Amino acid sequence: MTYWVFFVLALSLLLNTLVWTFWIAPVEAYMGVVQKIFYFHVPAAMAMQALFITCGITSIVYLFRPGPRSDRLAVSCAEVGVLMGAFVLITGPIWARKAWNHWWEWEPRLVLTLVIFLLYMAYLALRRYAGTDSLTKRIGAGLAALGLPGIYLVRVAVERWRGTHPQVIYKGGLEDVNMQIAFGLGVAAFACLSVVLVWRRYALQRSRDDVEALTMTMMEHDLLEEEL
């Protein structure tokens, strides 16, 4: 029941974000219509960071107290976080083209975001192709935990290293109430969408673990061909 509440919320919030972004929120003063990417790009980046932080923390928990729940949650958050990261890295250059007149710049926040994205891609590749034994899970958990300092640096990169990341200006910032509402709806929409996706991915991982455990039990009792 709770899952469907988040599902309906996510769908409703996404539709409202689209309406508020393209029909109600005013056009930004300097970047024009392209600035409306902000209402999706930034919420997706926030969701990505929250998911990677959750993955890192649950991975640390797994290192000290190994258990299926923390492992499943870490994998689920990493997978959905990579999806959000891909969205961020696709929409970001579109915004950058208007702000910087080119698609990419080796700007601190962009570079760190790309590095963290690749780190969690490596984590997922390890978990997918290196087996399901305890050692692999521990190595993966250590790799996921390494992303936590990088996520912190992404949040402070512009302030610490004087990055040129685009800033939104409309009479001094997001002062127009409709811009604030559009942004708030976007944040809530991507948060609920992340919960829905992680929920489903966790359920899938639990099913996979159950099938694997059942397969091993059947093989131990000679109820299944060894090569299967």
pLDDT per residue as tens digits for the range 127-168: 988 877 889 999 999 999 999 988 888 776 555 655 555 554
Residues 6+ apart with CB under 8 A from 75: 55, 124, 127, 201, 205
The whole-angstrom separation of Cα 104 and Cα 110 is 8
On whether the pTM is more than 0.75, the answer is: yes
Q: Indicate whether 20 belongs to any domain.
A: yes
Q: Indicate whether 226 belongs to any domain.
A: no
Q: Indicate whether 225 belongs to any domain.
A: no
Is the four-CA dihedral 94, 95, 101, 107 of positive or negative sign?
Answer: negative
Domain count along the chain: 1
Q: Indicate whether 227 belongs to any domain.
A: no
Q: pLDDT tens-digit profile of 74-117?
A: 999 999 999 999 999 999 888 877 767 777 777 777 888 899 99
Neighbours of 12 (CB within 10 A): 14
Q: Indicate whether 23 belongs to any domain.
A: yes
Q: Domain span at residue 168?
A: 2-220
